[in-house]
Amino acid sequence: MAGSFASLHIHIVFSTKERRPILTPRLRDLVFPYIAGIVHAEKGHLVEAGGVDDHVHLLVHLLVQLHQQTSVADCARLIKSNSSKWLRENHDDRWLGWQDGYGAFSVSQSSVSDVRDYIRTQEQHHAKTSFQDEFRALLTRHKIEFNEQYIWA
């Protein structure tokens, strides 16, 4: 075999700067296709995108040769920096940007459908659950230790 290969599904979650509720449905409709283009340029596929006014969920499929692989950190950085600049320059000069951090969670092939459904129903989900409670639950479910003092900075 000439190389090593990987097929990775990653559920990426991040909020707007200071969790400000500025990501309107109109902006989400504009930015998700733009994010899909960013992911495509990195040899990936945006499987699903969803969110509410203060955060987004992305299901990204990276199918890459490992020696050319874009790391999850690189992928998140490219998505956030490029989409933030694009939103500010083209659609809303009040746009402050995305939060500094993000959450990234591996998704098995057998769970892709469930995660897609979860991302599609974010508005209904957040009628009952805050972003903070949701994010804590994701961290806990994936056995990621965290300190409340730093998680919302």
* Model pLDDT for residues 63-122, shown as the tens digit of each residue: 765 445 668 888 899 999 999 999 989 987 888 899 988 999 999 999 999 999 999 999
State the pTM of this model. 0.88
Quick count: other Cβ atoms within 10 Å of Cβ 131?
20
For 11-69, write each residue's pLDDT tens digit. Answer: 999 999 988 999 999 999 999 999 999 998 888 899 999 999 999 999 999 876 544 56
Q: Where are the domains of the chain?
A: 5-109+120-151
CATH fold of 5-109+120-151 reads Alpha-Beta Plaits (3.30.70)
CA neighbor of 22 nearest in space, from 82, 98, 121: 98
